[in-house]
Structure 1
Amino acid sequence: MKRFFRLDRRGFLIGAAGVALAGCDRISESDQAQDVFDGVNELSYKAQRLLIGADRLAPEFAATEISRNFRANGSIDPKAPSYRELVRDQFTSWKLNVGGLVEKARDYSLDELRALPSRTQITRHDCVEGWSCIGKWKGVLLSTLLDEVRVKPQARYVAFYCADRLGADEAASNPNEAESDQETDPDEQPPQTGAALDDPSTHSYETIDLIDARHPQTILAYDMNDRVLPVAHGAPLRLRVERQLGYKMAKYIMRIELVESFAGIGRGKGGYWEDRGYDWYAGI
């Protein structure tokens, strides 16, 4: 009997992304090549938006399918003194600021977020490195917060500013990869002191468009697998944008800003990893 190999769309895109990004450092050395990839990424973004639509759901799973060991991606223990203080007081003093191009910016405590209507979903986290895990997430719909602050018409993207600094935090899930992304010029590297680690301009960030921000599965998760979100997975709050690869799902969120463009944030590519050669749109 003949056996046929079946590759689903998500699996194909994850594998292709892993192969492509394995050589992103070499590719990024060529401005011409980077321009080509930027164009391909934009074409992929438009094609997927056209084919998938705005509200198509990512697959959801049964509780029996939850992964016993869910790997943590990116940073797992931010070293910024301000974040360590939040961990010590169990995030009771933490506040999420939502501002930028909105009519009414406001701050939310963790208790206030928990008091809002929530969504629970069991979904698969697909990493660009090729591994996947299934987990249960509970949190507030990002669209709920956007409605409360009343987004201005000129806003196009949502930016998430985080407490971790992947190049400086000693504990990362892939230390070799994190180290390779540090600047090589020592004059450009801030000293590894409390003040430098607390500088928001050196922290990781991420952006998504308003289509994904208002998707019915896009949540700001504060619980994982029926427990409070652990530090390794982004406490107190992490983004779940289920139709994209894992590196888009910002962890340790401190602030959210509505912006017209992300060109003036970081290196202008839309995220920590995107600034280092990854695609801005990582749809699967």
Structure 2
Amino acid sequence: MSGASRRGLIRAAGASLAGLTLAACDRLNASPGFSRVLAGAEDLTRRAQRMVTDRKALAREFSPADISPDFKANGTLRPSSAAYAAQAAAGFADWRIVVDGLVERPLSLSLAELRAMPARTQITRHDCVEGWSSIGKWTGARLGPLVDRAGLKPEARYLVFHCADHLGPNQDATDRYYESIDLIDAYHPQTILAYEMNDAVLPVPHGAPVRLRVERQLGYKHAKYVQRIEAVADFAHIGGGKGGFWEDRGYEWYAGI
């Protein structure tokens, strides 16, 4: 199956999933048998793709002429908290990103310090689970060297990205957006913490001051408004225990394309 066909199937499946009501998802998730079937199928899909795909194979990159004139901003367009509003008003001068959890040397870096880290620029396509795609140019710190600077402990297996925005109605910790990836994707050369988009400072609707770009995954994995990166052995104790805001609500954790 070609890459384009595979992406089409994934997006179609994701669009069908997005059409389910939360009540239906809750009923299905309440069934232990159904949950085990889903988990087994997802693990098989991940293993199969990793077997046939070079772990360092690059997502397709495009030319400047291919950049979408109107790259859709999705999800949260501006976090509602007073703390975020104050940071944005100050140009994120006081913003810091924390790297902690199962690391030897916890980090707290300013935006200037993050910009001084090894960086990468890439023009890639963002594929949304809703079925649309856009092409944008991203510049940001490579995640691999940042993780190495913190020094992962041997038991670390995943990175969890804690974000400033809330997507649910409660506007509390249960609604805070978060995502996670494994170390294979963390060390992929195209996985970056983007602080520029299309040769300009990353706009607020697209995740300012920093968003994750993990180019071989669907759009909901590309966490915006990242504040903290936590190295963990598993994510069962975080949120709903499924590895991400949308995963806790029925989406697959592995969204590789």
Q: TM-score range by the shorter chain?
A: over 0.9
Normalising by the residue count of structure 1, what TM-score does the alignment of the two structures yield? 0.85
**C-alpha deviation, 1:118, in angstroms:** 1.1
Shifted more, 231-240 versus 48-57: the winner is 48-57
Partner of 1:12: 9
The verdict on how the C-alpha distance between 1:61 and 1:38 changes in structure 2, with shifts beyond 3 A counting, is same
Distance 1:128 1:40, change over 3 A: same
Of Structure 1 and Structure 2, the greater strand share is in 2
The answer to whether the Cα contact below 8 Å between 2:17 and 2:251 also exists between their aligned partners in 1 is: no
Q: Is the contact between residue 236 and residue 242 of structure 2 (CA under 8 Å) also seen in structure 1?
A: yes
* Aligned 1:266-281 pairs, distance under 5 A: 266-281=239-254
Q: Distance in 2 between matches of 1:23 and 1:279?
A: 14
Three-state SS of the structure 2 residue aligned to 1:87 is helix
Cα offset for 1:144? Answer: 1.1
Could you tell me which amino acid in structure 1 is paired with residue 127 of structure 2?
D
Equivalent pairs, count: 251
Query: What is the CA–CA distance in structure 2 between the aligned matches of 1:252 and 1:23, rounded to whole Å?
Result: 27
| 1:142 aligned partner | 143
Which ranges of structure 1 fall in alignment gaps of 5 or more residues?
1-5, 169-188, 190-196
Indicate the SS of the match to 1:8.
helix
Partner in structure 2 of residue 172 of structure 1: none
1:29 is aligned to 27
Q: Is the 8 A contact 2:96 2:108 kept in 1?
A: yes
* Structure 2 Cα separation of the partners of residues 20 and 145 of structure 1: 34
Matched residue of 2:165: which SS? coil
Contact 1:24 1:277 in 2 (8 A): no
- Write the mapping of 1:1-284 to structure 2, written as runs, cut at 5 A: 8-23=5-20, 25=22, 26-30=24-28, 31=31, 32-168=33-169, 189=170, 197=171, 200=173, 202-284=175-257
Deviation at 1:13, TM superposition (A): 1.8
User: Could you tell me how far apart the structure 1 residues matched to 2:11 and 2:61 are?
Assistant: 18
- Structure 2 residue identity aligned to 1:18: A
2: CA distance between counterparts of 1:84 and 1:47? Answer: 44
For each residue in 1:256-280, what CA deviation from the matched residue of structure 2 results, as whole angstroms up to 9, or x when unmatched?
1100010000010000000000000
Instruction: Quickly say closer, same or farther: Cα 1:229–1:27, change in 2 above 3 A.
Output: same
Query: Does the 8 A contact of 1:24 with 1:278 survive in 2?
Result: no
- 1:244 partner letter: Q
Aligned-partner Cα distance in 1 for 2:96–2:102: 19
- Between the aligned partners of 2:36 and 2:78, the Cα distance in structure 1 is 35
- Determine which structure has more spread, i.e. the larger CA radius of gyration: 1
Counterparts in 2 of 1:200 and 1:7: CA distance versus 1, 3 Å: closer
Say if 1:73 and 1:246, in contact at 8 Å, map to a contact too: no
Q: Which has the higher contact order (CA 8 A, sep 6+)?
A: 1
Give me the identity figure in percent. Answer: 53
Q: Distance in 1 between matches of 2:151 and 2:64?
A: 35
In the alignment, the residues of structure 2 paired with residue 259 and residue 21 of structure 1 have an alpha-carbon distance, to the nearest angstrom, of 28
Give the superposition deviation at 1:16. Answer: 2.4
Amino acid at match of 1:211: I
Distance in 1 of aligned mates of 2:207 and 2:219: 12
Distance in 1 (alpha carbons) for counterparts of 2:175 and 2:18: 23
8 Å contact from structure 2 (residues 168, 176) kept in 1: no
CA distance in 2, matches of 1:210, 1:24: 32
CA shift, 1:100, in A, is: 0.7
Q: Indicate the RMSD between aligned Cα atoms, in angstroms.
A: 1.6
Distance 1:20 1:138 in 2: 31
